[in-house]
């Protein structure tokens, strides 16, 4: 059934986050901090690996070897301008704060409120950004199976355990973001019934790699990069790749 992958992904995030909250309450603060640092380092590594898509042959043939990096750079710049004007990061944080206020039956400290928001925003970004979310959802929508999303769901479930152990219940509600994002892509692919050229996929993957580096910096508390404001770059990257490729050809 189309959409099964998204449903499974949402469930694993919620279940994983629930387990993480239960486990996290049993660990000392230092252990929780170490887990978050480990996740930050792992995210940096994954982001770096995604940047290897700059060397993809189809991507290089479409925009030339020198053009791959330029496409990603301009996608990030244009995306950042668009995202900041749309105030995506601020709106996502506001939604997270609204969720926390609605769910909490007692007055919470500003620290616990911010912890919930950070968990919601950071987990939303981590689970939504990346080639597996995009390609898996589109593959599911085109009737090619939900295998990619199922694998992603398993990985996200374990990541949710680790995240929620330090960031709390906000991580569980990132499942809302994932449901909207992956569900939307699945529906789009279902009605379009067309595949995505490899060059466009590589441009999205490389751009997503830079965004994941930003998430890693956030988790390590090096710099609070407004990654959500950079999300439009994931749209600009394939558009610029197509435009440059059409011009060259």
pLDDT score for 145: 84
Specify whether the CB–CB gap between 220 and 37 falls below 8 A: yes
Q: How far apart are CA 120 and CA 127, in angstroms?
A: 11
Q: What is the pLDDT of residues 104-122, one digit of tens each?
A: 766 566 778 888 998 999 9
Specify whether the CB–CB gap between 53 and 209 falls below 8 A: yes
pTM greater than 0.75: yes
pLDDT band with cut points at 50, 70 and 90 for residue 144: confident
**pLDDT surpasses 90 at 19:** yes
**pLDDT surpasses 70 at 59:** yes
Specify whether the CB–CB gap between 186 and 3 falls below 8 A: yes
H-type alpha helices, the chain: 4-24, 29-50, 57-63, 67-86, 88-103, 110-128, 131-141, 147-167, 174-192, 198-219, 233-248
pLDDT band with cut points at 50, 70 and 90 for residue 223: very high
Q: Give mean pLDDT, residues 221-235.
A: 93
91: three-class secondary structure by DSSP: helix
Specify whether the CB–CB gap between 186 and 43 falls below 8 A: no
Q: How far apart are CA 47 and CA 44, in angstroms?
A: 5
pLDDT score for 70: 96
Contacts of residue 87, defined as CB under 8 A and 6 or more positions apart, other chains included, come to 229
pLDDT score for 238: 93
Q: How far apart are CA 232 and CA 87, in angstroms?
A: 11
Specify whether the CB–CB gap between 113 and 30 falls below 8 A: no
Among 3-7, 130-134, 231-235, the least confident range: 130-134
Exposed / middle / buried, residue 59 (Cβ in 10 Å: 0-12, 13-18, 19+): buried
pLDDT score for 247: 84
Distances (CA, A) of 139 to 71, 117, 192: 25, 31, 12
pLDDT band with cut points at 50, 70 and 90 for residue 166: confident
pLDDT score for 39: 86
Structural domain boundaries in the chain: 4-248
pLDDT score for 69: 96
Report the percentage of the chain scoring pLDDT > 70. Answer: 96
Q: How far apart are CA 79 and CA 88, in angstroms?
A: 11
**pLDDT surpasses 80 at 206:** yes
Specify whether the CB–CB gap between 9 and 156 falls below 8 A: yes
Q: By C-alpha distance, which of 188, 173, 85 is closest to 134? A: 188
**pLDDT surpasses 90 at 176:** yes
What's the chain's average pLDDT?
89
């Amino acid at each position: 059934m189309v959409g099964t992958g998204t449903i499974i992904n949402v469930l694993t995030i919620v279940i994983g986050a629930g387990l993480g909250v239960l486990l996290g309450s049993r660990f000392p603060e230092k252990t929780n901090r170490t887990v978050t640092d480990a996740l930050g380092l792992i995210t940096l590594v994954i982001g770096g690996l995604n940047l290897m898509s700059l060397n993809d042959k189809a991507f290089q043939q479409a925009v030339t070897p020198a053009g791959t990096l330029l496409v990603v750079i301009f996608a990030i710049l244009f995306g950042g301008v668009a995202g900041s004007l749309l105030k995506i990061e601020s709106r996502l944080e506001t939604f997270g704060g609204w969720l926390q206020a609605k769910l909490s039956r007692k007055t919470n400290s500003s620290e616990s409120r911010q912890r919930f928001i950070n968990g919601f925003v950071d987990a939303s970004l981590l689970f939504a950004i990346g080639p597996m979310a995009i390609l898996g959802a589109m593959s599911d929508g085109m009737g090619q199976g939900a295998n990619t999303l199922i694998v992603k769901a398993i990985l996200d479930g374990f990541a949710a355990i680790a995240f929620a152990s330090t960031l709390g219940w906000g991580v569980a509600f990132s499942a809302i973001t994932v449901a909207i994002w992956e569900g939307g892509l699945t529906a789009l692919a279902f009605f379009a019934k067309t595949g995505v050229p490899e060059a466009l996929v590589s441009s999205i993957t490389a751009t997503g790699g830079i965004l994941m580096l930003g998430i890693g910096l956030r988790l390590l508390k090096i710099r609070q990069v407004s990654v959500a404001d950079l999300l439009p770059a994931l749209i600009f990257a394939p558009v610029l790749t197509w435009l440059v490729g059409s011009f060259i050809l």
